[in-house]
Structure 1
């Protein structure tokens, strides 16, 4: 039986890994956040430290990505595999420590949840730090539980180190670790255990994080004045609730299904999940099972950083977006896995157990299909972009305004053959880690170039005014719109006769 279980675990992990590697291979989209990570990996280790000191994310992920890419190459596929490895580490955690602590039913449910949650497809393909943050937050929480049960030195060391790594990967990793420390302290006090080691770990953690804490305080002061995250609105509550289950990327248009269809299906799925949770908790309360504490504490560990982020977003400055919830997502999966394992034991509710897995599988399948459709559309658009540029006889000169410069690094990866110029008003602009040639708008004297623009409502008026200002000296000979990128081929009007002839 044990041999059979081992084979089942292996098959599940291989199944999940194959799915995510398949999506990695198919995902050719180049979004801004991915581009930022790619260019950061090309910086030196010291430059990464200096750049992140003015950014909102700690440096550890970019250091890891740089070290990884120096060995395995810098293709988009290779970069995405680095994120998939973080998900793989989470799946292996389900096979070993979670299985040892909570048994096969919880472990199998946990692994299936990680594979089937639609958001995991994002974590495995996005060239960002979320999958690795989720792994180390999970490791910190599991180490904390081992500390509570056994208190061995190795567990304390793992608890401290995984917490430090979580904090240096993402700020919400820090908030998650603070929640774990808080809950562990409460558990120790409740059981009247000696809290000396917790205090020591907290002090060691504070010392290790102090260098970045000073940078974080500076960042918080700067983002309070101007930040890209929008203030929370009423609709954001629903967005944060369904984000983990969304059958498509939340920013993509509704093409395969309507918003109403999505809402109905997700309400059904989450209602079944809620009912399962209520049934499990009712059974635990009736039997006075200790499993209720495992499920509750796991969920609290997941929700604490989100609540802190929400409160700070309301009273100070917006710092919460849905994807930040993924930093502690594995603890939500663990809590739900404990619930599912309990419901499976109740024969009268087993039909609800199977209904949940059926609905979640459908949701995950739709997300896969939605992603593949989007990847195909994007591939066609990128081919159009490259064909549009390939018509140039010489090396194309791309020019972008300072208010749209975010689109240019993406174009550098889509069309790597070219010269890339940033137009400035007066002052120089810190665009690190990107590398663009900078000239002032008044010195723009190119004979021909391709003007690049991004479809963003906030800058449309500025762009129209700028394009109109060029009409006295340049004429648009061709244009293209693909994905969210506009390209305009401009040619200089050298004489009044040229203008009249045109």
Structure 2
């Protein structure tokens, strides 16, 4: 049974590599498929300081735009290149799956994880969209990995890496900051349940204070963004929508119309 799990894991891992290769050549990697991509594309083709000034008036943190500007010497007008930047997190997750998850668990866990990250919900399309979601997904997964390391080992390395990836998540997309905040809440619960409360609580406070200090330069901008967009109308969630929220990461649409990996044919058909 163990050998079968190992073989299945390797097959799924190989399938994930094929998905990665296809991401580099698929037709939808050559066109803008989402209206927000036009915003990102236009912003990063502005001069750096002008682009970052525009980003301040956006509703998102700046890290994704900074990552894209790193590729400016290669030509930001190349849509395919910008989409490859969004594919890079999937490549990094494949490496994490091979070197970290495989070693901590087994081939089956590593293969199943990275295959699902490629095909579940709208993930496949998001990895080909010039937005911050694929990078945010990478950072929040890394934060989760070291959240577990912290609760298992309580060592300095794990705390540093959890703090780092939580910070990068917050600078990429605010929703990922909420996710990391929930992880810290769970860490606090674990600390209060432990027998070594004082030293672990000290580690926790150092991490939280570090996050607040390192994120404080953007806090003024965040307040400005909230004030600027405070008139935006938000839809109040209905009880009937809760089921859709729960299954979203398994199916790509509330109408349950199919897997995200298959639905890219709707975009190129």
1:46 maps to 2:52: no
Structure 1's 155 and 245: CA in aligned 2 closer, same or farther, altered over 3 A? Answer: closer
Structure 1's 71 and 151: CA in aligned 2 closer, same or farther, altered over 3 A? Answer: farther
1:168 to 168, 171, 175: 171
In the other structure, the counterpart of 2:188 is 185
Note if contact 1:29-1:375 (Cα within 8 Å) is conserved in structure 2: no
User: Aligned partners of 1:152 and 1:24: how far apart in 2?
Assistant: 46
Q: What TM-score, normalized by structure 1, do the two folds share?
A: 0.47
Larger strand fraction of residues = 1
User: Aligned partners of 1:130 and 1:65: how far apart in 2?
Assistant: 13
- Please, which runs of 5 or more residues in structure 1 have no aligned partner? 251-258, 264-362, 377-502
1:203 maps to 2:218: no
Structure 1's 96 and 8: CA in aligned 2 closer, same or farther, altered over 3 A? Answer: farther
User: Aligned partners of 1:24 and 1:68: how far apart in 2?
Assistant: 22
- Please, which runs of 5 or more residues in structure 2 have no aligned partner? none
Number of residue pairs the alignment of both structures matches: 262
1:244 maps to 2:249: yes
Shift of 1:83: 0.9
1:106 maps to 2:115: no
The alignment partner of 2:26 has SS state of helix
Q: What TM-score, normalized by structure 2, do the two folds share?
A: 0.83
Structure 1's 24 and 102: CA in aligned 2 closer, same or farther, altered over 3 A? Answer: farther
Structure 1's 9 and 243: CA in aligned 2 closer, same or farther, altered over 3 A? Answer: closer
Note if contact 2:9-2:107 (Cα within 8 Å) is conserved in structure 1: no
Shift of 1:30: 4.3
In the other structure, the counterpart of 1:68 is 71
Larger helix fraction of residues = 2
In the other structure, the counterpart of 2:264 is 371
User: Aligned partners of 1:171 and 1:29: how far apart in 2?
Assistant: 24
Shift of 1:106: 2.3
Structure ID, larger Rg? 1
Relative contact order (alpha carbons < 8 A, sep ≥ 6): 1 or 2 greater? 2
**Equivalent residues in 2 for 1:84-483, closer than 5 Å:** 84-193=87-196, 194=199, 195-227=201-233, 229-233=234-238, 236-246=241-251, 262=256, 363-364=258-259, 367-376=260-269
The alignment partner of 1:33 has SS state of helix
User: Aligned partners of 2:79 and 2:59: how far apart in 1?
Assistant: 23
Note if contact 2:120-2:251 (Cα within 8 Å) is conserved in structure 1: no
